[in-house]
Chain A
Amino acid sequence: MRAEVGLLSRNVVFRGNPDDSIENEYGATLFIHSAGDDSLTVRLSYIELTHVG
């Protein structure tokens, strides 16, 4: 067994306000939803999500 080491930083960052997200336990959300199959397209790659959820 070997400990996994992951890179967290990316150039493109989506985040909640770092000043209060942790304190309030209330982060940003990315909410992808619409009615019907194939009703929207979201493609994300190599981005950083922080202070979310």
Chain B
Amino acid sequence: MTRASSTSITCETGPRPGLPDTSLDITIAGKGRVSTGDHTYTYARFWSDPDTWGGLFAPVDGESFVVSKGVNLVFDIDHSPQLQAVLVEGSLIFLPDDDENHHRTFDARYIFVKGGRMEVGTEENPYDSKITITLHGTIDDPFLPIYGNKVLGVRFGKLDMHGPKREPTWTRMETTSEPGATQIQLMEEVDWQEGESFAVASTSFNPREAEERVISRIDRSDSSRPILIFDVPLQFKHFAQE
């Protein structure tokens, strides 16, 4: 142990043969064990740490890598290179940034979780900054048996991907909108933000009349009946009446 206060303990570990499971057990001499609540200890490697890559370079464009069984790898850089294949037999963990507008990107042609774990937020702690995982490839690329290409495949193991809760994820229109409308009124309060996209369902027999727009502004002067304002006019009428 290198340092301890009433709220934190800093420890240094030596090199380890193999890796322990996630756990946390604190004992104070003469007093006994400490309640650790929901906290756990994970022995993890950071992508940004050269030691993670054996003192060599971290992967670059076009390269593949394996997260071996027993290894917990935390992806702590902002943008991955354009990776070829990523094989996850240990844990690949994406941690959110403190800045909610921070935007991480991860690009690969194949991601294959084989008996390992990939985690982008958890149910308890959703990934509350931004992350975009992009898969690349064409139909002509080599197929993984069963799983194909341009794929995030999971064979045994665990995958968790959780964003912050949104309320509501969908609602209904308050009033009918005519073709050419650049705003629509909703029936209830929403946590939606400027810059986000929404879809309005078709209300005719033609499902192609569903439309997608980007919110440029939200008028919340009546917060229980917010008005979404957008730049590109709607092409079709969308009906809303009891």
Contact = CB atoms under 8 A, between A and B. Distances in A.
A51 to B, nearest CB: 8
Nearest to B113: A40
Contacts of A11: 127-131, 163-164
B173 A7 contact: no
Contact of A46 (B138, B165, B240): B165
B227 to A, nearest CB: 12
A30 B113 CA distance: 11
A17 B137 CA distance: 8
Given A2-B173, A7-B170, A46-B163, A34 B134 contact: no
A11 to B, nearest CB: 5
Contacts of A12: 120-121, 126-127, 130-131, 161-163
Interface in B154-209: 154-166, 168-174, 177, 184, 186-187, 190, 192, 195-203
A41 B157 CA distance: 6
A1 to B, nearest CB: 6
Interface residues of A, number: 39
Interface in A32-52: 32-34, 39-48
B158 A42 contact: yes
- Main SS at interface, chain A: strand
Given A1-B239, A6-B198, A15-B133, A28 B150 contact: yes
Interface residues of B, number: 66
A22 interface: no
B240 A10 contact: no
B79 interface: no
A24 B157 CA distance: 31
A26 to B, nearest CB: 5
B6 interface: no
Contacts of B187: 2
B132 to A, nearest CB: 4
Contacts of B170: 4-7
A17 B239 contact: no
Contacts of B173: 2-5
Interface of B: 120-121, 123, 126-139, 146-148, 150-166, 168-174, 177, 184, 186-187, 190, 192, 195-203, 212, 228, 238-242
Interface of A: 1-18, 20, 24, 26-34, 39-48
20 contacts: A1-B203, A3-B173, A4-B171, A5-B173, A9-B198, A11-B163, A12-B130, A13-B130, A13-B132, A17-B135, A17-B137, A28-B134, A29-B135, A31-B146, A33-B154, A33-B155, A40-B159, A42-B154, A42-B160, A44-B160
9 closest residue pairs by CB, A with B: A9-B196, A6-B170, A28-B135, A46-B163, A2-B172, A12-B163, A3-B238, A2-B240, A8-B197
